[in-house]
Structures are given as structure tokens and as C-alpha cells.
Amino acid sequence: MYNKLQYISQGETIEKQLYNIHKALDAGCNWVQMRFKNQTQKDTFTLAEEVKYLCEKYTANFIVNDDLHLTKEIDACGVHLGLTDTKIDEARAILGPTKVIGGTANTFEDIENHVKNGCDYIGLGPFRFTNTKEKLSPILGLSGYYEILQKLKKNNIEIPVYAIGGITLRDVSPLIETGIHGIAVSGIITESDEKEKLIQQLNEKLHANIIV
């Protein structure tokens, strides 16, 4: 099963990205999504090779944001694709059955389509406003997650759903109660001065036995 906590990297240079990823791994993250926007192909490739090496050293899963061909080229564990990125079925045809493909969703219908097209997990959001990403889809809030997760249950659609967007520690328990599998976070881990403690607290809440 997929880890319940995914760290999405931040940093405008290769050095800052590596620093942030290294810190997150040291503090106990074992799933990293490398998100390095608006960069040259050369720099993105250089960073990806370094991140792959680091993740192997820490036995962490490594997925690439957006870039399907880079994922294949460096043999990462998988890729995360948004609603305007390469289509999930195209990615599946190129990557084959074993790579992890995550897809962004904002609605029940997005999830239905992703499942039909061979997606492995869903990043459903945004939960609330965040400065980490520009051009956000409509904010879902807790009620949005509750509605969508109920509809998935009613339609017998089973896929790990990750909440994303502006999530803080105190959001985790109520989000888990909606039926999500886990969370994908960037800001709270990158900015924390006590990363190890935070990751431990996040994992405790993510793994608490909640009867939904």
C-alpha cells in the first residue's frame, strides 16, 4: 500500500531543492515528489538524478512532478500528472504497468476518469488556499472531501486518495475522517524548524484508527 505521507519538494535552485529534500528524508519522509517548476531541462535532469540517488540511499519512493519522459529516462518510481498535463492513459502506455502514476482531481468525475485510465492514486484538492501553487482549482474544504469520498464509496470506486493544499497538522484527523488515504504536503514540512517531530505527529494522526 502507498505511504500516507507524500512530501512535495520546494526550492528555486538545485541547491535549495536538494537541501529541502535531504532535510525531509533525514526527518523521516519516505515518499518524495520532486516539483521543480519553470526550469531548464538540463537543471531538472541534474536535480532528478541527485534526488534519485538520495531517495535510494534513504529507501524512499521518488516520483517526478509533470515530466513523464524524465520519469522514464531516470527510471523514477513514478510520476504525478495534473489535469492539464499528459493524460493518464498515455502515460500508462509509455511507462508500463509497474510505475506509479498519480493524478490530480478536483471533482468526483475527475477521479472516475483517472481510475478508468489506469491511475494508481489521486491527489484531490485544493483543501484550502495555498501560496505553493498558482492558479488553484476551486477550494474543496472539508465538506468537499466528505461529499466526494461518500460518492466514491457509493459507486464502489477504490483508489488511494490524498488530500492536498494548505494542509496543517490540525487538519489531518478531520481529513482522515472523510475517508482519504493520506496527505501530500509541501509548505508545512519545508518551513518547519522541527521536521522530525512534525513528521512523527503527522504519521501518528494519519495512522490513527478512525472508524469512518
Ligand X SMILES: Cc1ncsc1CCOP(=O)(O)O
Positions at the binding site? 33-37, 65-66, 85, 104, 130-133, 166
Our CB check for ligand X shows the closer of 99 and 133 to be 133
DSSP 119: -
Query: Is 110 an interacting residue with respect to Mg ion (CB under 5 A)?
Result: no
Q: How many CB atoms lie within 10 A of CB 153?
A: 12
Amino acid at 162: Y
Indicate whether 203 belongs to the interface with ligand LCLJCK34 (CB under 6 A).
Answer: no
Task: Kindly tell me which residue out of 30, 132, 150, 192 binds ligand X, with binding defined by CB under 6 A.
Answer: 132
Q: Which is nearer to ligand LCLJCK34, 36 or 156 (CB)?
A: 36
User: For residues 52 and 166, what is the distance between their CA atoms, to the nearest angstrom?
Assistant: 26
Q: Binding of ligand X at residue 125 (CB under 6 A)?
A: yes
Query: Which of these, 98, 91, 80, lies nearest to 32 by C-alpha position?
Result: 80
Report yes or no: 64 and 71 within 8 Å, Cβ to Cβ.
yes
Site for ligand LCLJCK34 in 145-174 (CB under 6 A): 162, 164
Contact 123, 130 (CB under 8 A): no
Strand-pairing partners, residue 65, are 80
Binding residue for Mg ion (CB under 5 A) from 85, 89, 112, 177? 85
Residue 83 sits in the site that holds Mg ion (CB under 5 A): no
Report if residue 120 touches ligand LCLJCK34, rule: CB under 6 A: no
Distances (CA, A) of 110 to 48, 101, 148, 204: 28, 15, 11, 30
Asked whether 193 and 153 are in contact (CB, 8 A), the reply is no
| CA 127 – CA 138 distance, rounded (Å) | 9
Binder among 9, 66, 124, 127 for Mg ion (CB under 5 A):
66
* Residue number, nearest CB to Mg ion: 82
Pick one of Mg ion, ligand X, ligand LCLJCK34, none as the site partner of residue 30 (Cβ within 5 to 8 A by kind). Answer: none
Q: Pick what 102 binds: ligand LCLJCK34, ligand X, Mg ion, none; C-beta below 5 to 8 Å, kind-dependent.
A: ligand LCLJCK34
Nearest in space to 133 (alpha carbons), one of 15, 33, 3: 33
> What length does the chain have?
212
Binding site for ligand X (CB under 6 A): 8, 125-126, 130, 132-133, 164-167, 185-187
Binding site for ligand LCLJCK34 (CB under 6 A): 6, 8, 33, 35, 65-66, 80, 82-83, 85, 102, 104, 123, 133, 162, 164, 184
